[in-house]
Chain A
Amino acid sequence: MTFLIQQTLLYAVPLMIVALAGVFAERSGIINLALEGIMIFGAFIGVLFVRIMQGSAWIGAAKAANAYGTLQLFGVLAMLVAAIFGALFSLLLSFASINLRADQTIGGTALNLMAPALALFFIRLIANQNTLYIDGDGPSWFMIKKAMFGYGRTEKMSWLGETFINKMYLATYICIILFIVLSILLYKTRFGLRLRACGENPQAADSLGINVYHMRYAGTTISGALAGMGGFVYALTTANCTSNGDVAGFGFLALAVMIFGNWKPLNIAGASLLFGLFKCIAAAYSSIDINGDGVYLLKEIGINENVYRMLPYVITLIVLAFTSKSSRAPKAEGIPYDKGQR
């Protein structure tokens, strides 16, 4: 059970945060198909940052001294760097779709092609192979361990501790907190109200003195930052802090989560847990012992793991089909706003 919950959380949290990234862009009126690309870019930058910094005296000393606090700070710093570069990368989309009123779908597709190409080009130059690694057991620097709380090697934490603290990542919880904070921002503040207005009826927002262009830039930039950070968190927690110009379609899965969650944070949290569970089952279904009683239930059911992988997309498509009449996609998304046309 502990394993199942941990793994599900590790898969669900990047999904959740990247789906929220999609929400911020779409609620401001810009379709961000480039989530996948920005994730790839963020993952690459984050891993590169860790790789460059790992040799520094500061980190070296921290590693030697097992200074958990410093190492955790290092991880947060890497997330921040990934977020900043994700935001910068997303400016390409904002510029094309807001200033040049370009086709947002093609613009997003371009970013999706560009990110892996750029990442791989540099990874090959830097590492002379197609995957960028960090030293040794890198990811474990960032892992929360029971030793930090004074537990010995053989001692066990309580069930809650074993499940939610030991061998988990701080990044996961930062993402959850960020998710909550940003959801509140979206619904309870002036900024959020105005942002949502721009995605629904930019003409109305404009007539009330709201600068639609600025709000859309804000939406896509937050989106880029979250997706970039989500990309790094994905790489850190599920790909051993490596980058290979690929996030295995997680960005597109996040898009599915966003649609399945009807562009609403609470539903998205639920949807990402569900889809995270599918991912977790698909990855390890033959070795999951749900109750700890030695019965491998999922293995005995015998459904192919690819079915679990496929399910999120199938469900999303079915949901789309059934809710197409009442779909709550932001009304003005994808339509370039032209101040001249009222």
Chain B
Amino acid sequence: MAALDNSQDYVIEMLHITKEFPGIKANDDITLQLRRGEIHALLGENGAGKSTLMSVLFGLYQPEQGEIRKNGERVLINNPNDATALGIGMVHQHFKLVEVFTVLDNIILGAETTGALGFLKKAEARKKVQALSEKYGLKVDLDAKVEDITVGMQQRVEILKMLYRDNEILIFDEPTAVLTPQEIEELMATMKEFAREGKSILFISHKLNEIMAVADRVSVLRKGKYVGTVNTADTNKQELSNMMVGRPVQLVVTKDDARPGEDVLRVEHFSVPSHVHKRNAVNDVSFTVRAGEIVCIAGIDGNGQTELVYGLSGMDKSNGGSVTLCGEDITHYSIHRRGGNMSHIPEDRHKHGLVLDFTLEQNLVLQRFREPQFQHAGFIDEGAVRGYAQRLIEQYDVRSGQGPVTKARSMSGGNQQKAIIAREVDRDKPLIIAVQPTRGLDVGAIEYIHSQLVAERDRGKAILLVSLELDEVMSLSDRILVMYEGEIVGELDPKKTNVQELGLYMAGAKREGKEALA
């Protein structure tokens, strides 16, 4: 803490910031100090608290404890306007652009220069933007509509927005997630140029290559806590990866070795288009899942896992390759037909998993209500549904206020998830796709769900697990496939690898067959 004394070194200091949300400390006593003219990376896994910390700095959240200083003086940032007034600008992960406006209109919006009667002086603004654009080599077409330009150019617009407002502290929230390699290189060069000019940059990322390439210092967060700050010159990717994920696996799942049988799911050269950018979200992916094994797709959020599952379950259309399930080509089947051999524990239990206004028993037959055992001539056999629900509730220990007639909305998150697991497991299909089945749950529920999945594996089910939690990946899977930018970059054996190596793959620093660039 000696660094606190010579505060004139720091342009922004966030001291002992604590931010709590109901049930979770997103930031726990975090201190971050940004020097003038440096590029400071903020590294951490999903949910480590990076975004929360930046939202505090940008005035979107108010911290419970701690203070923010600018140039050594305490400041209060209650909203984005305050942040802008202090010269803080942010390129959000999801761009804040008005799609039908021109580039110029987007840049001046909120900081317009006007003449009499509030008429816009666009010519003046255009000159200023053009000057900035030339100075930093940020090529944009000022009269194009934002919806018509590439994602890379949209990002340049966001950067120009900050420059136009003369911001000197620039926050980049995962700026490379949507860019092509060339665009990433250009961005890196631009960031370095800014730093040379004395602007200070906060760079949020979990990609080690980029951090090593561009940052001066790195602060690492893990599970809401501050781990440490190091100079990139004094460290290496392995050490950073250890800081990010580095801890022994805490969860222990007792399971025997897998005894894999025949191929249940075979995916070949499979591609799914993206809704966000023009590239494929899933690109030319091939793998198999055999009966009696748990195959885990590991990776950092947003690398195509969601789209892969949508493609496999039929919720999104694929644009290449084939999917074979139990020997049947299901590439063009409807969701309903795929359901014949596939259970699916969805990623978003509120959006897809449950009809929240339905009762528990209604939710438990969401796919099965048309089966003869639950209906006669179109009339639902309430007795049969009730009986079935009661069996599942007992067998899977789903707890709720009023049993089968509880509204799903009023159940706790853990029990909602248990209900979905019960429904999907009990459908007894050869393949179970489980996407982040333990997200947001407490330890008890997690253990329960893990043991259920292992039990199903031992009954000969093929299980495809998508998880962002390294603990879960390491302890549950029989094989690990790492996804990075829509492709499978490595297949690992959990017994022969460790979280450190896994971390390198997930951050794109390592790739099967070849070492990744830089």
* Direct contact, A vs B (beta carbon within 8 Å): yes
Number of interface residues of A (CB under 8 A): 21
**How far apart are the CA atoms of A342 and B90 in the complex, in Å?**
14
Interface positions of B from 55 to 100, Cβ below 8 Å from A: 55, 60, 79-81, 84, 90, 92, 96-100
Q: Does A190 contact B (CB under 8 A)?
A: yes
**How far apart are the CA atoms of A193 and B100 in the complex, in Å?**
12
Q: Which of B79, B101, B109, B119 contacts A188 (CB 8 A)?
A: B119
Task: Say how far B417's CB is from chain A's closest CB, in angstroms.
Answer: 23
Q: Does B4 contact A (CB under 8 A)?
A: no
Q: Does B110 contact A (CB under 8 A)?
A: yes
Number of interface residues of B (CB under 8 A): 26
Task: Say how far A278's CB is from chain B's closest CB, in angstroms.
Answer: 30
**Which residues in A have their C-beta under 8 angstroms from that of B315?**
none
Cβ-defined contact, B80 with A208, below 8 A = yes
Task: Say how far A275's CB is from chain B's closest CB, in angstroms.
Answer: 25
**How far apart are the CA atoms of A193 and B109 in the complex, in Å?**
7
By beta carbon, the residue of chain A nearest B79 is: A209
Task: Mark interface residues in A167-207 (1 if CB within 8 Å of B CB, else 0).
Answer: 00000000000000000000011110110110011011111
By beta carbon, the residue of chain B nearest A342 is: B60
Q: Which of A191, A200, A328 contacts B101 (CB 8 A)?
A: A200
**Which residues in A have their C-beta under 8 angstroms from that of B109?**
193-194, 197, 204-205, 208, 210
Cβ-defined contact, B114 with A189, below 8 A = yes
Cβ-defined contact, B98 with A189, below 8 A = no
Task: Mark interface residues in A305-333 (1 if CB within 8 Å of B CB, else 0).
Answer: 00000000000000000000000100100
Cβ-defined contact, A206 with B80, below 8 A = yes
**Which residues in A have their C-beta under 8 angstroms from that of B111?**
208
Q: In the complex where A188-B119, A207-B80 touch, is A193 in contact with B96 (Cβ < 8 A)?
A: no
Q: In the complex where A193-B112, A209-B81, A342-B60 touch, is A204 in contact with B96 (Cβ < 8 A)?
A: yes
Q: Tell me the dominant secondary structure on chain A's binding face.
A: helix
Interface positions of A from 24 to 63, Cβ below 8 Å from B: none
**Which residues in B have their C-beta under 8 angstroms from that of A200?**
98-101
Cβ-defined contact, A209 with B120, below 8 A = no
By beta carbon, the residue of chain B nearest A207 is: B96
**How far apart are the CA atoms of A132 and B240 in the complex, in Å?**
81
Q: Which of A188, A201, A342 contacts B98 (CB 8 A)?
A: A201
**How far apart are the CA atoms of A209 and B78 in the complex, in Å?**
12
**How far apart are the CA atoms of A112 and B97 in the complex, in Å?**
35
**Which residues in A have their C-beta under 8 angstroms from that of B97?**
201, 204
Cβ-defined contact, A201 with B81, below 8 A = no
Cβ-defined contact, A201 with B80, below 8 A = no
Q: Does B105 contact A (CB under 8 A)?
A: yes
**Which residues in B have their C-beta under 8 angstroms from that of A188?**
119-120
By beta carbon, the residue of chain A nearest B95 is: A204
Interface positions of B from 134 to 193, Cβ below 8 Å from A: 161
Q: Which of A190, A196, A206, A208 contacts B118 (CB 8 A)?
A: A190
Q: Does B3 contact A (CB under 8 A)?
A: no
**How far apart are the CA atoms of A328 and B98 in the complex, in Å?**
13
Cβ-defined contact, B101 with A190, below 8 A = no
By beta carbon, the residue of chain A nearest B113 is: A190
Cβ-defined contact, A194 with B117, below 8 A = no
**How far apart are the CA atoms of A205 and B99 in the complex, in Å?**
12
**How far apart are the CA atoms of A190 and B111 in the complex, in Å?**
9
**Which residues in A have their C-beta under 8 angstroms from that of B161?**
208
Cβ-defined contact, B84 with A209, below 8 A = yes
Cβ-defined contact, B99 with A208, below 8 A = no
Task: Say how far B151's CB is from chain A's closest CB, in angstroms.
Answer: 16
Q: In the complex where A201-B96, A201-B97 touch, is A189 in contact with B80 (Cβ < 8 A)?
A: no
Cβ-defined contact, A197 with B101, below 8 A = yes
**Which residues in A have their C-beta under 8 angstroms from that of B84?**
208-209
**How far apart are the CA atoms of A206 and B109 in the complex, in Å?**
11
Cβ-defined contact, B118 with A191, below 8 A = yes
Interface positions of B from 408 to 453, Cβ below 8 Å from A: none
Task: Say how far B252's CB is from chain A's closest CB, in angstroms.
Answer: 38
**How far apart are the CA atoms of A281 and B195 in the complex, in Å?**
69
| Interface-central residue, A190, A191, A201, A328, by most chain B CB under 10 Å | A190
By beta carbon, the residue of chain A nearest B61 is: A342
Cβ-defined contact, A207 with B118, below 8 A = no
**How far apart are the CA atoms of A200 and B96 in the complex, in Å?**
11
Cβ-defined contact, A189 with B118, below 8 A = yes
**How far apart are the CA atoms of A130 and B86 in the complex, in Å?**
63
Task: Say how far B20's CB is from chain A's closest CB, in angstroms.
Answer: 16
Q: In the complex where A188-B119, A342-B60 touch, is A203 in contact with B81 (Cβ < 8 A)?
A: no
By beta carbon, the residue of chain A nearest B84 is: A209
**How far apart are the CA atoms of A206 and B90 in the complex, in Å?**
13
Q: Which of B101, B108, B110, B117 contacts A196 (CB 8 A)?
A: B101
**Which residues in B have their C-beta under 8 angstroms from that of A197?**
98, 101, 109
**How far apart are the CA atoms of A205 and B108 in the complex, in Å?**
11
**How far apart are the CA atoms of A285 and B96 in the complex, in Å?**
53
Cβ-defined contact, B120 with A189, below 8 A = yes
Cβ-defined contact, B92 with A207, below 8 A = yes
**Which residues in A have their C-beta under 8 angstroms from that of B119?**
188-190
Task: Say how far B55's CB is from chain A's closest CB, in angstroms.
Answer: 8
Given contacts A189-B119, A190-B120, A197-B101, 4 further A-B pairs with CB under 8 A are A193-B105, A201-B99, A204-B109, A207-B92
* A contact residues vs B (CB 8 Å cutoff): 188-191, 193-194, 196-197, 200-201, 203-210, 328, 331, 342
- Top 10 nearest A-B pairs (CB, nearest first) are A208-B110, A204-B96, A209-B81, A189-B118, A190-B112, A200-B98, A207-B96, A201-B98, A190-B118, A190-B114
Q: List 15 A-B contacts (CB under 8 A).
A: A188-B120, A189-B114, A189-B117, A190-B119, A190-B120, A194-B110, A201-B98, A204-B98, A205-B98, A207-B92, A208-B110, A208-B111, A210-B109, A210-B110, A342-B55
